[in-house]
């Protein structure tokens, strides 16, 4: 079940509407919690009334109360004579009703806890699912730590409110609705004296929450920035140590940590004032009730038992009224948390499109064509500009160019991480913008520029995205990527657990595991984005030889800086400044003036120098 935290106009819900929407699907549990709460409260009412009846009818020689409720209670206990001779009876009765109230309080808290945990599990599931589908543009501009904060801390804030304070609101309403008539029936004047400051406390609580609500946002945002710094530092801890950046990182952490501390202290300071004032108001209310009841008792207008009942009932009402401030505080925090959560849930999925998405019945043939393709990030300078390119089925295309020339962006556009701003890209004649993303990405095996491995076994990483496969296929893919022998050297072989992002493997091993993963899918199109940059020349030659066996069968697009990686390609394009400046095969481009020839001459000279130095060392 999907939660929508905004109305039809897109405005974020608030107040009772927000709560009612949140508990959808769990309203029966909250109903049971409300029923249990009502029963528990009823039992709690009886306890002070038994005490009051005992004082007025059993502990005095002559009854000094004419309250029908108290007379009825003493009659149910066996009459004043029996009770006065057996004072254990009201004691046991009070204990029994208190115990029953405790039992139903347990049922109420259990139901509320199950409901709140269920709601928050659903909310986390929805958030996680939504984040998986968000556009790359949104994710590029978001801090990982802040997203984690919204999915954990903000959801936990919501859970606490749903588990405790919804019930407390119900308790307060039940107490006011039920206790007030009982007190009025016993004595109107004393009721007014006992409730005089309660409206003031409620009004003060409302004004307080209006004042501090913006601080909850500031605290949440400060905590999000703090989490982002911690997450980033732990992820890059090796870089920090390698460059001796400990002091810098500590200083960088100190700023968001201080901001979080300062905003938290400011909020706590205001909350301290609130609790102090509300405590004074509550104690003043008790004092007013004591003075009024004492005066009326001296006047003979009320009995001691009535005073006992009034003070007990007033305290029962006063505590939840005093808790209104905490409830409103947590509701304010919850509202802010839900607004932050809703900011994620209202972001559009990357699959949302104005065009109808289709899913062809058969796998792709691997025919790719780009016509006047242009794209820029955030409406800036175009990363690629006016690209025209045609890749035939089974053809191997190599792309060369300096950093920032737009090579990787082309890969991202092929995978529809982003959609083109101008022009079109087609796969087998279908515009990518009309293709279902799941179908489209299933046609590609991808090794990204920075291969990502999960903290799982090597086998699990290789077979990622392949629904069913056997060990033989996994090992064959690993052999093609020249990683099989290295894996078998590990103590646990393919079952070896690697650290987060494959940290226990070398850079070259991570690349080769990622290549194995792409090859295992046996896709119509293989995309290699600088996938051999961390392997040695001998390993590179072996991998290229394995890839050449696919030549003519599967389309392959390779991005690389080593010309030895590109030389075998059917077609090579050179990109500079987001445009294609040269196109041809290796033999053509190495004799044509341009970037390719310059790089070829440099690399050839370096190889010659290295060969001469190696020969000289061998002779010596």
Note whether 506 and 381 are same-domain residues. no
Beta-carbon contacts of residue 58 (< 8 Å; ≥ 6 apart): 74, 80, 83, 84, 87, 90
Q: pLDDT tier at 14 (50, 70, 90 boundaries)? A: low
Token pair listed for 157: 């804030």
Flag whether 193 is in a domain: yes
Note whether 478 and 551 are same-domain residues. no
Note whether 517 and 544 are same-domain residues. no
3-state DSSP assignment of residue 134: strand
Q: What is the Cα 521 distance to its own chain's centre?
A: 31
Q: Minimal CA–CA distance to 57: which of 37, 76, 35?
A: 76
How far apart are alpha carbons 277 and 266 in whole angstroms? Answer: 17
Flag whether 534 is in a domain: yes
Note whether 568 and 476 are same-domain residues. no
How far apart are alpha carbons 319 and 357 in whole angstroms? Answer: 59
Residues facing residue 605 across a β-bridge? none
348-382 residue pLDDT tens: 887 655 555 677 777 888 899 999 999 988 777 88
Note whether 384 and 314 are same-domain residues. no
Are 340 and 220 in contact by the 8 Å Cβ rule? The answer is: yes
> What mean pLDDT comes out for the span 84-95?
82
3-state DSSP assignment of residue 442: helix
The reported pTM is 0.72
Flag whether 268 is in a domain: yes
CA-based torsion, 263, 234, 338, 141: positive or negative? positive
Q: What is the pLDDT of residue 63?
A: 52
Beta-carbon contacts of residue 456 (< 8 Å; ≥ 6 apart): 497, 498
Flag whether 374 is in a domain: yes
Note whether 50 and 92 are same-domain residues. yes
Flag whether 305 is in a domain: yes
- The yes-or-no verdict on residue 336 having pLDDT over 90 is no
228-281 residue pLDDT tens: 888 777 777 777 777 677 788 888 888 888 888 888 888 888 878 877 887 788
The CATH number for 307's domain is: 1.20.1560.10
Q: What is the pLDDT of residue 373?
A: 92
Q: Minimal CA–CA distance to 465: which of 519, 507, 413, 508?
A: 519
Note whether 296 and 427 are same-domain residues. no
275-288 residue pLDDT tens: 788 778 888 888 88
Note whether 491 and 372 are same-domain residues. no
Q: Which residues of 91-122 are buried (b: 16+ CB within 10 A; e: fewer)?
A: eebbeebeebbeebbebbbebbbebbebbbeb
Note whether 273 and 403 are same-domain residues. no
How far apart are alpha carbons 120 and 20 in whole angstroms? Answer: 14
Q: Minimal CA–CA distance to 373: which of 106, 176, 573?
A: 573
3-state DSSP assignment of residue 374: strand
Task: Give percent above pLDDT 90 in the chain.
Answer: 8
3-state DSSP assignment of residue 591: coil
Q: Minimal CA–CA distance to 371: which of 177, 532, 580, 64?
A: 580
Flag whether 613 is in a domain: no
- The yes-or-no verdict on residue 340 having pLDDT over 80 is yes
Flag whether 449 is in a domain: no
Note whether 263 and 341 are same-domain residues. yes
Note whether 245 and 130 are same-domain residues. yes
Q: Minimal CA–CA distance to 515: which of 464, 564, 562?
A: 464
Number of domains in the chain: 3
471-515 residue pLDDT tens: 888 888 888 888 888 889 888 888 988 877 777 888 888 888 888
Q: Which domain holds residue 497?
A: 454-521
CB atoms under 10 Å from CB of 76, counted, come to: 12
Flag whether 195 is in a domain: yes
271-317 residue pLDDT tens: 788 778 877 888 888 888 888 888 887 877 777 777 777 777 777 77
Task: Give percent above pLDDT 70 in the chain.
Answer: 91
Q: What DSSP letter does each residue of 473-511 carry, written as one string? A: HHHHHHHHTT-HHHHHHSTTGGGPBP-GGGTTS-HHHHH
The CATH number for 397's domain is: 3.40.50.300
41-81 residue pLDDT tens: 888 878 877 877 777 766 665 555 556 666 777 777 777 77
Domain end: 473, 490, 521, which one? 521
Q: Minimal CA–CA distance to 546: which of 390, 444, 396, 363?
A: 396
Note whether 26 and 135 are same-domain residues. yes
């Amino acid at each position: 079940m999907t939660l929508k935290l905004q109305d039809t106009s897109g405005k974020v819900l608030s107040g009772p509407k927000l709560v009612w929407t949140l508990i959808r699907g769990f309203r029966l549990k909250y109903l049971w919690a409300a029923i249990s709460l009502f029963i528990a409260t009823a039992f709690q009412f009886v306890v002070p009334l038994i005490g009051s009846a005992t004082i007025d009818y059993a502990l005095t020689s002559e009854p000094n109360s004419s309250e029908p409720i108290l007379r009825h209670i003493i009659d149910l206990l066996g009459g004043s004579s029996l009770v006065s001779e057996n004072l254990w009876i009201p004691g046991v009765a009070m204990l029994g009703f208190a115990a029953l109230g405790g039992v139903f309080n347990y049922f109420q808290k259990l139901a509320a806890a199950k409901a709140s945990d269920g709601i928050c599990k659903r909310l986390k599931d929805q958030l996680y699912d939504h984040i998986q589908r968000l556009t790359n543009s949104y994710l590029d501009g978001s801090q990982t730590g802040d997203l984690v904060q919204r999915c954990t801390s903000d959801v936990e804030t919501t859970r606490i409110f749903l588990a405790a304070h919804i019930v407390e609101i119900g308790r307060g309403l039940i107490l006011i609705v039920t206790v007030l008539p009982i007190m009025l029936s016993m004595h109107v004047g004393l009721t007014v004296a006992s409730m005089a400051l309660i409206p003031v406390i409620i009004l003060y609580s409302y004004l307080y929450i209006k004042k501090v609500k913006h601080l909850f946002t500031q605290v949440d945002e400060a905590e999000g920035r703090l989490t982002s710094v911690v997450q980033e530092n732990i992820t890059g801890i090796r870089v920090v140590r390698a460059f001796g950046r400990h002091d810098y990182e500590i200083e960088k952490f100190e700023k968001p940590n201080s901001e979080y501390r300062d905003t938290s202290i400011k909020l706590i300071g205001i909350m301290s004032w609130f609790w102090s004032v509300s405590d004074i108001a509550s104690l003043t209310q008790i004092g007013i009730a004591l003075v009024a009841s004492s005066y009326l008792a001296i006047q003979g207008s009320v009995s001691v038992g009535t005073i006992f009942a009034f003070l007990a009932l007033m305290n029962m009402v006063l505590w939840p009224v005093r808790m209104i401030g905490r409830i409103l505080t947590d509701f304010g925090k919850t509202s802010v948390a839900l607004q932050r959560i809703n900011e994620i849930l209202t972001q559009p999925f990357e699959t949302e499109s104005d065009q109808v998405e289709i899913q062809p019945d058969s796998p792709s043939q691997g025919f790719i064509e780009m016509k006047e393709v242009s794209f820029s990030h955030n409406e800036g300078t175009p990363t690629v500009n006016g690209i025209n390119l045609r890749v035939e089925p089974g053809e191997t295309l190599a792309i060369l160019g300096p950093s920032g020339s737009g090579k990787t962006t082309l890969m991202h556009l092929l995978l529809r991480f982003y959609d083109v701003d101008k022009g079109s890209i087609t796969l087998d004649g279908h515009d990518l913008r009309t293709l279902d993303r799941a179908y489209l990405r299933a046609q590609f095996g991808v090794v990204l520029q920075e291969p990502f491995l999960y903290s799982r076994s090597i086998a699990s990483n290789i077979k990622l995205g392949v629904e069913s496969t056997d060990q033989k296929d996994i090992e064959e893919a690993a052999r093609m990527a020249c990683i099989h022998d290295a894996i078998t050297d590990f103590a646990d072989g393919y079952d070896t657990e690697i650290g987060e992002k494959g940290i226990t493997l070398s850079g070259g091993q991570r690349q080769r595991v990622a290549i194995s993963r792409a090859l295992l899918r046996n896709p119509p199109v293989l995309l290699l984005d600088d996938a051999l940059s961390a392997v040695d020349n001998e390993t590179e030659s072996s991998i290229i030889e394995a890839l050449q066996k696919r030549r003519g069968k599967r389309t392959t697009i390779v991005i690389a800086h080593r010309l030895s990686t590109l030389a075998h390609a059917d077609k090579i394009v050179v990109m500079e400044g987001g445009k294609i400046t040269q196109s041809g095969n290796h033999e053509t481009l190495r004799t044509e003036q341009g970037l390719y020839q310059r790089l070829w001459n440099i690399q050839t000279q370096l190889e010659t120098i290295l060969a001469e130095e190696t020969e000289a060392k061998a002779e010596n």
